[in-house]
Structure 1
Amino acid sequence: MEVQVGISILCTVIGVLIGFLTFSRNRDKDVKNDATESAVIRTKLDKISQSVDSIRIDFKASDQRWTALSEQVIRNDESNKQAHKRIDSLESKGES
């Protein structure tokens, strides 16, 4: 009977030890997996951030081009108005 109790206690201790080692090993794997996933996510976020910055720079350059083009169109319209006024005055002088 004492042998059976000793074997039972020994098996219980071995079971607890195996359970603890398995838990420890899996916890380390989980930490490594979490670190790997975190690094991948961080890398992807960095790439997205760089892409957004690039798009922002392109948008700013495009906005500057549109502003310059708009100013040029305004100057051309003013020049056309002045030309039409001169043509109208020449036509009215020619009719009189």
Structure 2
Amino acid sequence: MTIELGILIAIGGLIISFQAYQLNKTKDLKTDSQESAELKAELGYIRKGVDDIRIDSKANEKQMAHLSERVTRVEESAKSLHKRVDNMENKGVEHIG
């Protein structure tokens, strides 16, 4: 009878061990699924941030191109003004001399 009791205890221990293993396996799957969902959400936030940065960058590029055109026009206008001032000075010098 002690041998049968030992076998029953061993089988009971195996069943409990197997059930504990299955329970831990299920918990691990739930934890992995939750972590995967969190990573996907974080990647989504990062993707949106990168898209926002790209949009801002394109807007800045357009603004820089516009400012570059304006600076070029101002430089041309200043060059023209300097020529007119130089001509006025030269004419003024001729009248004096």
Q: TM-score, normalised by structure 2?
A: 0.92
Q: What does residue 36 of structure 1 align with?
A: 34
Cα separation, 2, equivalents of 1:76 and 1:7: 102
Length, aligned pairs only: 94
Give the superposition deviation at 1:68. 0.9
**Map of 1:77 onto structure 2:** 75
Superimposed CA distance per residue, residues 9-62 of structure 1 (whole angstroms, 9 cap, x where no aligned partner): 000001001100110011011001110011011101111110111011111101
Cα deviation for residue 94 of structure 1 reads 2.3
5 Å-filtered alignment, 1:24-63, equals 24-63=22-61
| Ranges in structure 2 where 5+ consecutive residues have no aligned partner | none
For 2:9 and 2:55, locate their aligned partners in 1 and report how far apart those are by CA, in whole Å. 68
TM-score, scaled to structure 1: 0.92
Ranges of 4+ aligned residues in structure 1 off by more than 2 Å = none
Distance in 1 between residues matched to 2:6 and 2:26, nearest whole Å:
30
Percent identity for Structure 1 against Structure 2:
40
